[in-house]
């Protein structure tokens, strides 16, 4: 026993020195891996980290960085494997839980992703990031109420997060809670007056409020920063149309067409602009392009506008055809009145117009009700004497 003890005393400095040298070497490998990660050389980093892992497979920092590198390289199964190993060693490790939640979110496995971030909010109820991630995932799941609740919590914990403020503004706009939306947008713009997503939300708010001058001013300020997205440039063109600034409206809408980003809506509004400018042929061409671009919930409106244009040109037969097509595609209810009026003027058989006027009354629309009731009475007399 004395001999063994003596040998242990002699050998301890040798083993101790070896362990120190091994630890220093691992630190060097790990530092080199971190340097390569900073340079986006994730494969190079993995080569350094694999040496670290072989020597110390149960060291959580190595497992986390290996998982991170695999994530950045899009190797999600490998990343999940190493993050899972970290959780076996520490089931409440927030970095591993957050990383796994984000991977499942990228894979669009929102149910699984939500489970991780729900767990994280339970572990640390003061971390606004966890609530923000949970809220974003809830949006993907179509759960607007849960998303709103989570964003509100995230905002209460971090009032300066403009991403959260923008999300809240967008949700409130979708819910037509314009007062809350305006409050959040104002908060966000006080933090960052040039924030494009917040300015876009402000433009949508003014559009809902039909404040067309403010819509135009807001979107112009966005475009100065270089944003020319089709949706907002079209909104700008529509605002100028409402303000009767027809040349400006035409310029913006035509710019969308020139970039080949046009949709049926672009051509619809161009048709309206040209109609106001007194260009019936160009107006008709754009209405027809709107229809050709695809059948949509607004197709009835496009045919209705074609009918209006034909009626203004005195082509009642064409107008009637367009109005009938409009109704078949679910046009606005006043189209029934336009069809009745055009039929009244075009057909000698007044029973046709009478039927259409009665259809209009059946819609419950009030704008032309008094005239329609009066005209129905007159037509009934005319039909009676024609028999």
The reported pLDDT for the residue numbered 295 is 66
Contact 253, 270 (CB under 8 A): yes
Q: Rounded to whole angstroms, how far apart are CA atoms 98 and 184?
A: 28
pLDDT on residue 10? 38
The DSSP symbol for 332 reads -
Please compute the mean of the pLDDT values over residues 308-319 and round it to a whole number: 91
Does the pLDDT at position 18 exceed 70?
no
The tally of CA atoms less than 13 A away on the side-chain side of residue 284 is 14
Provide the pLDDT for residue 5.
46
Q: Tell whether pTM > 0.75.
A: no
For the segment 221-269, what is each residue's pLDDT rounded down to a tens digit? 999 998 878 889 999 999 999 999 999 999 999 999 998 888 889 999 9
Residue 14 has pLDDT above 50, yes or no: no
Q: ∠ CA(73), CA(76), CA(81), 5° rounding?
A: 120
**Distances in Å between the alpha carbon of 176 and those of 179, 180, 181, 208, 348?**
9, 9, 8, 8, 48
Question: H or E segment at 134?
Answer: helix 128-140
d(CA 381, CA 387): 10
- Please identify which residue in the block is written with the tokens 């986006």: 40
């Amino acid at each position: 026993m004395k001999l063994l003890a003596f040998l242990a005393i002699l050998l301890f400095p040798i083993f101790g020195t070896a362990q120190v040298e091994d630890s220093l070497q691992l630190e060097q490998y790990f530092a080199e891996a971190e340097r390569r990660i900073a340079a986006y050389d994730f494969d190079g980093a993995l080569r350094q980290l694999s040496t670290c892992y072989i020597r110390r497979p149960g060291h959580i920092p190595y497992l986390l960085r290996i998982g991170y590198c695999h994530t950045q390289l899009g190797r999600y199964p490998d990343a999940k494997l190493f993050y899972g190993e970290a959780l076996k060693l520490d089931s409440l490790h927030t970095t591993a839980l957050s990383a796994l939640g984000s991977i499942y979110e990228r894979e669009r496995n929102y149910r699984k992703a939500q489970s991780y971030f729900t767990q994280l909010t339970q572990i640390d109820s003061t971390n606004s990031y966890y609530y923000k991630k949970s809220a974003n995932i809830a949006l993907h799941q179509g759960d607007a109420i849960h998303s709103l609740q989570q964003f509100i919590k995230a905002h209460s914990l971090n009032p300066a997060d403009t991403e959260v403020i923008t999300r809240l503004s967008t949700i409130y706009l979708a819910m037509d809670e314009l007062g809350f939306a305006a409050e959040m947008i104002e908060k966000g713009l006080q933090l960052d007056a040039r924030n494009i997503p917040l300015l876009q939300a402000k433009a949508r708010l003014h559009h809902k409020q039909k404040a067309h001058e403010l819509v135009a001013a807001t979107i112009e300020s966005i475009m100065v920063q270089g944003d020319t997205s089709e949706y907002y440039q079209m909104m700008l063109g529509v605002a100028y149309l409402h303000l009767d600034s027809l040349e400006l409206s035409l310029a913006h809408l035509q710019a969308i067409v020139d970039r080949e980003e046009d949709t049926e809506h672009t051509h619809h509004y161009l048709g309206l602009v040209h109609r106001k400018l007194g260009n019936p042929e160009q107006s008709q061409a754009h209405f027809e392009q709107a229809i050709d671009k695809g059948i949509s919930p607004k197709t009835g409106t496009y045919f209705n506008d074609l009918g209006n244009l034909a009626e203004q040109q005195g082509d009642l037969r064409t107008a009637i055809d367009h109005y009938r097509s409009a109704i078949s595609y679910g046009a606005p209810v006043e189209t029934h009145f336009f069809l009745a009026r055009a039929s009244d003027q075009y057909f000698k058989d007044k029973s046709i117009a009478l039927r259409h006027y009665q259809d209009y009354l059946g819609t419950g629309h009030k704008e032309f009700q008094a005239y329609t009731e009066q005209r129905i009475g007159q037509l009934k007399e005319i039909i009676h004497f024609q028999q």
